[in-house]
Structures are given as C-alpha cells and as structure tokens.
Structure 1
Amino acid sequence: MVMKELDLQASSDMPVDRKAVLGVALRRRILSMELAPGAVVDELALCDEFGLSRPPVRELMRQMAAEGYIDLEANRAARVSSMSYQSLRSFFLAAPLIYIGTTQLAATHATPSEIEELKRIQTFFREAIEEKDVEKRVLYNDEFHLQIGKMAHNVYLMPSLQRLLIDHARLGKIFYRHPTSVDMQEDLHLAADQHDEIITAIENHDPALAGEIVRAHLELSRRRMSEYAAPEGLNVAINY
C-alpha cells in the first residue's frame, strides 16, 4: 500500500493531499527503520516539512497510533512504536497463527483478479532482490502478505495482520539487508521461490498446501529476523 500511494501522489494529474502525503511518508520512514523504534516523532518538524497545521498532524498521529505505528502517551512526545523483547516474543508467537490463517483463507476465497495483483507484487519483489534494493524488498514483501490478507476476506484477521506487518517489515531490515554471505543470498532467492509456491497453492485453491508453504516461509525468515532480538554472542532462544 505504501508503494502504491507514493506512486499516486507522484502523479501530476492528481491534487496533492498534504495529510495523505505525510501519512505515506511517515509510515514508510517507520517501516524502513529510517525512524527507529522508540524515536521521537517531531510534530512541529512534520508541520513545517509538509506545510500542515498541527490539528491535521495530530489527527494523523492518532490514526497511526490506532494502527500500531506510533505510541501516544499523555503529556509526552509521540514516539515510534517500540520493539521490546516481550513484543518480539509476542510477534513470533502470533505470526504463524495469523499468516497461516490468512493464507489458507486466501486459497479458499481469492478471486482471479486478486491473484493477478499478487503476481504483480511478486514481480516487483523479485526485481528488488535482483537490484539489491533493501527498502523495496521489505516494502514489497509487506505488500505481498497484505494482499494475501485482503484475499482472505476476513474482517477479523486484517487488523491483526496489519499490525503484525509493521514489525515484520522492521525486522525484515535484518533479513533483507545486503547479503553478507552465500547462504544469505540463497535464502533471499528461496524466499522469492516460496512466494511463487504460495501463489500457485492459492491459485489451485489448496489451503492445506498453502499453509505448509507459508509455515516454511516463516521459519526461513525467523532465523534471520531473530538476529535482531538475539545479536551475535547472545544465547537467547526464540521459539514459536
């Protein structure tokens, strides 16, 4: 969604909605870790940068707090939502339940046009891998799983998936950083191959197979993502 909205705002044929532009930019900065977890979100600086008064900026921050991007507390500056060890543990526990559930439902309910959109996103994801563009890898991976959530057609799962994807994208900055070893490069291509397998399972309306593939996909990314929570030299078990 972030990439699409940025493309739309860049179109000279569309009127500029400054609040919408700020929302897209701020979400992208958080997902890309340009704004680190726990960082102060400078309200006045954003007003100046995007030519907005404080009320619409505050309204946007309340909306983004409800989505899970920002933490708001009384009499304190807004901050980017934190990533504590407890929240990461909760992430790894919840991720299989939510991703497998949405993917299996997508395999049951997806329409042909929705599957074509998923294939389009996958094309951009592969291009980002070949171009070694870390930010686009993270954002298109986010788009891929968000599209699967839409294809599940379940209003109860979508809010949980959207919140999960915020931290998945931020953790993905570890997994999708420039490969430093042969095995990491192989993992990147394997992740892309698993995306293709997920698409095929959904297209064939095979929820059991789709669930198996996404579970393996999560395990692949979990091994890299856990490096954020357990840096080299620490012996910390992270299981789900």
Structure 2
Amino acid sequence: MKASPNIDPDAEPAAPTDRKAALGEALRHRILNMEMRPGAVVDELAFAEEFGLSRPPVRELMRQMAAEGYIELETNRAARVSSMNYQSLRSFFLAAPLIYIATTQLAATNATPADVDRLRKIQQRLKTALKEDDVDSRVLYNDAFHLEIGKMAQNDYLMPSLRRLLIDHARLGKIFYRHPAVENMQQDMADAVDQHEQIIDAIARHDALTAGELVKAHWELSRIRMAEYAVPEGVNVPIGIV
C-alpha cells in the first residue's frame, strides 16, 4: 500500500493524535478518489503499521468514519468501504437534488463575507485542477466546495445527509471524469465551473431563491453524466423530487 503523500519522511515523528488525523484524511481521500473501491476490506492492521498507530485509535477512527458514511461496520466482520448498489444509487439520485437545494438556500441565508471568501478559494483550486487536468484534485475540490456550502447552511439535521451524499457523488464523479474524450464532456466541465461561480455570487448576495435554482441546474448537469456510467443500459434514473 503506498504511503500517504501528506507524510514527510524527514519530519519529526508526529504525535499519535496527528497520525490519527493523517490516517483519517488519507482514508477519506482514498475512498473518494476510488483508490479504495466500494466494498473493499479496510485492513486495520496495515493502516496501523503504515501510520505508526496502535489498534485502539484505528478502531476509534473506523467507528467515526462509519458514522460519517465512508465505511460499513458489522459484528465479527472486517470494516469495508461503503458499498454502491442499486438501492443506494437509487436513494442517491432521489435525495441529491433535495439536499443540495436545501443546503445551498440556507447557505445563501446565513453566509458571512468570510464564508464566501473560503468558498471562492476552494473554487480557485478547483479551476486550477481543471486547467491542469488533475482528476483526483478536481473530484476532491468539488467535494470540498459543496461541503463548505453545507457548513455555511448551519443545519445539524442536513449536514450528515450531505456528507453521505457527497461520498457517492465524488466516487461517481471519479468514474465519469475519467472519460474526457466523451462528446461534450469538456464543455460540461466548463459549464459546471461557471455554475459554481454563479452559485457563489448568489450566496454572496443572500439570494436564496436564485442559489436554489442554480444548484438545481448544476445537479442536473452532473446527474446526466453520472447516470451514463453508473446505471446499466435500459434502467431509468429518477430525477428526484424538486
């Protein structure tokens, strides 16, 4: 298993809590970018050795990540990366527009100038990843963009649902972003980035109605592409209730 890119071999040994945080970040990234596939076993011992941790903090992290939706824990079974099956994908496509619209409208209501500034910085990193054709960073910064909007919404009921939704959105995104030669894909990416800019502007103006309409259109653009690569031919993908 390759080492985390966040670890400097020349640096001083990290404190256990720092190593645990580094492991959590590495696991999340590896799951989102599909390096760890849905349903794959999470080898606690291997990760404990890789990050210089004992088993208890690794197990504690597994429980935390299970609560966030990244992995699945079952009694007397090894931890596994959250699965993606027919039922989970159906739920994803139904719930996504509802959750994205709700969080984005609340973000527009609650956003501070500092919130908007953080969102613009994430957007700039996303644009750089797109320019450099860095698929992994593109997926991760898109995830960070919508997660930041969720934080701005300040709603403890919506946030867990958004976090779980973003996991599968990122994983599906990693699949269809691998096909840049597909007709109109580059234009779709440019359109998506432009929609992000418009969403930021609507949030900055506290225009919740417009922000909701923009993210609805933004979701539809993603939904079409994700459906092309995630759903067997002949199976209808629900648009969602909007």
Superposition CA RMSD, Å = 1.8
Asked whether the 8 Å contact 1:85–1:229 carries over to 2, the reply is: no
Report the secondary structure of 2:184's partner residue: helix
Residue 34, structure 1, aligned to residue 8, structure 2: no
* 1:14 to partner: Cα distance: 10
Asked whether the 8 Å contact 1:176–1:188 carries over to 2, the reply is: no
Question: Is there any run of 5+ residues in structure 1 with no aligned partner, and where?
Answer: 1-5
Aligned residue pairs, count:
232
Report the secondary structure of 1:34's partner residue: coil
Asked whether the 8 Å contact 1:30–1:80 carries over to 2, the reply is: yes
**Distance between the aligned counterparts of 1:142 and 1:14, measured in 2?**
30
Aligned counterpart, 1:66: 67
**Distance between the aligned counterparts of 1:90 and 1:150, measured in 2?**
22
Moved more, 217-226 or 13-22: 13-22
**Distance between the aligned counterparts of 1:175 and 1:88, measured in 2?**
15
TM-score by length of 1: 0.92
Aligned counterpart, 2:163: 162
Aligned counterpart, 2:234: 235
* 1:140 to partner: Cα distance: 0.2
Detail structure 1 runs of 4+ shifted over 4 Å in the superposition: 12-16
* 1:54 to partner: Cα distance: 1.0
Aligned runs of 1:128-147 on 2, under 5 Å? 128-147=129-148
Asked whether the 8 Å contact 1:134–1:176 carries over to 2, the reply is: yes
Aligned runs of 1:1-240 on 2, under 5 Å? 15-16=14-15, 17-231=18-232, 234-239=233-238, 240=240
**Distance between the aligned counterparts of 2:99 and 2:14, measured in 1?**
37
Deviation string 1:113-144 (CA, Å, 9 cap, x unpaired) is: 00011000000001111100000000000010
TM-score by length of 2: 0.91
**Distance between the aligned counterparts of 1:197 and 1:172, measured in 2?**
21
Deviation string 1:55-93 (CA, Å, 9 cap, x unpaired) is: 111111011111111111111111100001110010111
Report the secondary structure of 1:150's partner residue: helix
**Distance between the aligned counterparts of 2:158 and 2:13, measured in 1?**
33
**Distance between the aligned counterparts of 1:229 and 1:170, measured in 2?**
10
* 1:238 to partner: Cα distance: 0.3
Aligned-residue identity in percent: 68
Question: Is there any run of 5+ residues in structure 2 with no aligned partner, and where?
Answer: none
